[in-house]
Amino acid sequence: MIREALLVLADGSTFEGELLGADPPNGVASGEVVFNTVLTGYQEVITDPSYAGQIITFTYPHIGNYGSNAFDFESARPFCRGVIVRDMARRFSNHRAENSLDAMLLRHGVSGIGGIDTRRLTRLLRDTGAMPGAFGTADEATLRSAAAAETGTDGIDLVADVTCASPYTVAATSSSRTRRIVAFDFGIKRTMLRHLAGLGTVEVVPAATTAAEVLAGHPDGVFLSNGPGDPAMVGYAVETISELLGQVPIFGICLGHQLLSRALGGETFKLPFGHHGGNHPVRHESTGQIEITSQNHNFCVDPASLDGRVEVTHVNLNDHTNEGMRVLGAPAFSVQYHPEAGPGPHDSRYLFQMFAELMDGGARLDLAGGRRNA
C-alpha cells in the first residue's frame, strides 16, 4: 500500500513522495539533509554512525537493487535520521542478500521517503548547502514547523550518542600479529576494525577514555576513528589526544583527523554541503599520485591554522581542502577520507600498512610510500 508523504526543507522547499521503511513518530522524521554520490554501498552508508543526526539523500536513482545482509552493517544499527531516494527497488537480486533494503529500514525503525526528484534536491543542497528538513505523513504545516525547529549538527556532541558504553576486544585475524592497538570509538565502522584486526589485537574503548587509561595498557598504537558531528564539541577527546601525542604511534581517520588537528592547535570549520561519496580525487602531495577516495564528513581542517609541527600530506582536488597531515617530531598521521573503503575504492588501503610500520618503529613518516603497500 502506498503511503503518501511529504519532504519539507527549512527554506520552504517541498517534495512529494511516498513513505518507506518505518513509520516515523507522530508522522515526522527530521534532521540535517545531505546527499551522497555513491553508486553502490547504500547499506554501509546507512549504517555508518557518522550520519547521526542526518537524513541521507542518495543521488543514484535506483537504491536497494541488491538487497541487504548482516555482514555489510558498519555498526549494530543505523544512526541516521532517515533516507531519501528516487526509486526504491521493489525486488532485489543478489546471492548475498538476506532481505530487502525496505525491510532492513523497517526492522531498525528508520524512515525513508521515495519518489523524490533527487536531482532537484541535490542541486538545491549543492547551491545553498546542507540544511535542516523533515519528512513524513504529517500535514505540511507540522513538517514545516519540524524543519524550522531542527538544529542540525552544529554545536552538538553526537559522538556521545554513538560511542560504545564499555571497552571490548577484537581478536587479531592472524596468530602472528602480536601488536596491541587501542581504537577510540567515536563512531567506528566495522570495516575499520577488520583492517586493524589484520595488524593485531584491537581494544575498542569509549570516546571519553583518558590518556592514562590508554597508556596503562602499553599499546603499540592508538587509532582515532571516524564519527559524527562537530569536532569542536568533543573537547574531552582533544585533551586526551594531546596527552597521547609523542607517547605512542597515532593514526586518525575522518573525525579522528579533525580531533588530532585540534589537539595540535588547529581549527575546524563546516563545509557548505560536506563530502559524501566514493569518487573524490585526492592528491598525495609528496608523490603527486591521485587516489580516488571514499568520503563522509561535514567538517574540515583549516590548513592555515596548523603550525610548524604539521605538514599537509593530502589535498582534495575538487575544492582543495585538507585531506591529510603528518606530525613533525612525533609518530602520528591522519587522513580526512576513508581508506578502509566501506564502501568505496581501495586506492588508500596502504595507510593501514603504514600504521603497522609506524608501530614497529620503521615507518617513513614523510608518507612518500604512495601505493607501494597497497
Structural contact between residues 39 and 63, judged by C-beta atoms closer than 8 angstroms: no
84 closest CA partner among 124, 123, 111: 111
Burial classification of residue 327, based on how many CB atoms lie within 10 Å of its CB (0-12 exposed, 13-18 middle, 19 or more buried): buried
Alpha-carbon distance of 204 to 184, in angstroms, equals 6
Cα Rg for the chain, rounded, in angstroms?
20
One-letter amino acid for residue 51 of the chain = Y
Looking at the annotation, which residues are catalytic?
A: 254, 338, 340
Where do the DSSP E strands lie in the chain?
Answer: 4-9, 14-21, 29-36, 54-58, 62-63, 82-84, 87-88, 111-114, 131-136, 168-170, 179-185, 200-206, 221-224, 250-253, 267-284, 290-302, 310-316, 322-327, 332-335
219 closest CA partner among 175, 169, 181: 181
Q: Which three cell numbers stand for residue 261?
A: 588537528
Structural contact between residues 53 and 192, judged by C-beta atoms closer than 8 angstroms: no
Tracing cell 500500500 back to the chain, one arrives at 1
Q: Is the dihedral of CA 214, 364, 360, 227 positive or negative?
A: positive
Kindly give the interhelix angle for 255-263 and 235-244, rounded to the nearest 10 degrees: 70
